[in-house]
Amino acid sequence: MIKSEYLQKVYAQVVTRDPDQKEFHQAVLEVLESLDPIIEQRPEYENKGIVETFVEPERVISFRVPWVDDRGGIHINRGYRVQFSSAIGPYKGGLRFHPTVNLSILKFLGFEQILKNSLTGLPIGGAKGGSDFDPKGKSDGEVMRFCQSFMTELSRHIGQFVDVPAGDIGVGGREIGYLFGQYRRVQGTYAAGVLTGKGLSFGGSLVRTEATGYGLCYLTQEMLGKMRSDSFEGKTVVISGSGNVAIFATEKAAQLGGRVVALSDSNGFIHDPEGIKLDIVKDIKLGHRGRIREYADRVPGSTYTEGFRGIWNIPCDIALPCATQNEIDGEMARTIVKNGCMAVAEGANMPCRPEAIQEFQHAGILFAPAKAANAGGVATSALEMSQNSMRYAWSFEEVDRRLKGIMVNIFHNIYDAAEEFGHTGDLAMGANIAGFKKVADAMLTQGLI
The DSSP code for 287 is I
The entry of ligand 2IT, ligand NDP, none near residue 93 (CB within 5 to 8 angstroms by kind) is ligand 2IT
* Beta-strand relationship, 303-306 and 268-271: antiparallel
Q: Which of 126, 204, 241, 268 contacts ligand NDP by CB under 6 A?
A: 241
Q: Is 374 in the site for ligand NDP (CB under 6 A)?
A: yes
Q: Which of 4, 34, 196, 244 contacts ligand 2IT by CB under 6 A?
A: 196
Q: Which of 147, 166, 328, 333 contacts ligand 2IT by CB under 6 A?
A: 166
Segment interacting with ligand NDP (CB under 6 A) among 71-79, 84-92, 217-225, 321-329 = 321-329
3-class DSSP string for 98-122: CCCCCHHHHHHHHHHHHHHHHHCCC
Q: Tell me which of 116, 128, 285, 371 is the catalytic residue.
A: 128
Segment interacting with ligand 2IT (CB under 6 A) among 34-42, 58-66, 377-385, 413-421 = 377-385
Residues 6+ apart with CB under 8 A from 213: 244, 245, 246, 247, 248, 249, 250, 251, 252, 322, 347, 376
Segment interacting with ligand NDP (CB under 6 A) among 8-16, 66-74, 229-237, 264-272 = 264-272
The entry of ligand 2IT, ligand NDP, none near residue 249 (CB within 5 to 8 angstroms by kind) is none
Q: Is 93 in the site for ligand 2IT (CB under 6 A)?
A: yes
DSSP string, 363-425: TT-EEE-HHHHTTHHHHHHHHHHHHHHHT----HHHHHHHHHHHHHHHHHHHHHHHHHTT-TT
State in angstroms the smallest separation of the CB of 208 from ligand 2IT.
8
Q: Which of 381, 387, 388, 432 contacts ligand 2IT by CB under 6 A?
A: 381
Asked whether the beta carbons of 224 and 217 are under 8 A apart, the reply is no
Q: Which of 118, 240, 250, 349 contacts ligand 2IT by CB under 6 A?
A: 349
State in angstroms the smallest separation of the CB of 23 from ligand NDP.
12
344-353 as b/e, with b when 16 or more CB fall inside 10 Å?
Answer: bbbbbbbbbb
State in angstroms the smallest separation of the CB of 382 from ligand NDP.
12
Residues 6+ apart with CB under 8 A from 255: none
Please state, as a whole number, how many other Cβ atoms lie within 10 Å of the Cβ of residue 376.
31
The entry of ligand NDP, ligand 2IT, none near residue 114 (CB within 5 to 8 angstroms by kind) is none
State in angstroms the smallest separation of the CB of 168 from ligand 2IT.
4
- Binding to ligand 2IT (CB under 6 A) within 221-250 occurs at none
Q: Is 169 in the site for ligand NDP (CB under 6 A)?
A: yes
Three-state SS at 196: coil
Q: Name the residue among 209, 217, 267 with its Cα closest to residue 239.
A: 217
Active site residue 128: yes
Considering the complex, state which of residue 6 and residue 94 has its C-beta at the smaller distance from ligand NDP. 94
Asked whether the beta carbons of 52 and 123 are under 8 A apart, the reply is no
Q: Is 369 in the site for ligand NDP (CB under 6 A)?
A: no
Considering the complex, state which of residue 92 and residue 285 has its C-beta at the smaller distance from ligand 2IT. 92
Residues 6+ apart with CB under 8 A from 269: 240, 262, 263, 292, 304, 305, 307, 308, 310, 311
The distance of Cα 188 from the centroid of its chain, to the nearest Å, equals 31
The single-letter code of the amino acid at 47 is N
State in angstroms the smallest separation of the CB of 323 from ligand NDP.
4
Segment interacting with ligand NDP (CB under 6 A) among 275-283, 319-327, 329-337, 436-444 = 319-327
Segment interacting with ligand 2IT (CB under 6 A) among 12-20, 232-240, 316-324, 375-383 = 375-383
Q: Is 88 in the site for ligand 2IT (CB under 6 A)?
A: no
Considering the complex, state which of residue 38 and residue 169 has its C-beta at the smaller distance from ligand 2IT. 169
Judged by phi (left if over 0) then psi (alpha if -120 to 50, else beta), residue 285 lies in: alpha
Q: Please give the helix or strand (H or E) that residue 439 lies within, else none.
A: helix 427-446
Three-state SS at 300: coil
Binding site for ligand 2IT (CB under 6 A): 92-94, 113, 116, 166, 168, 196, 349, 377-378, 381
Return the active site residues. 128
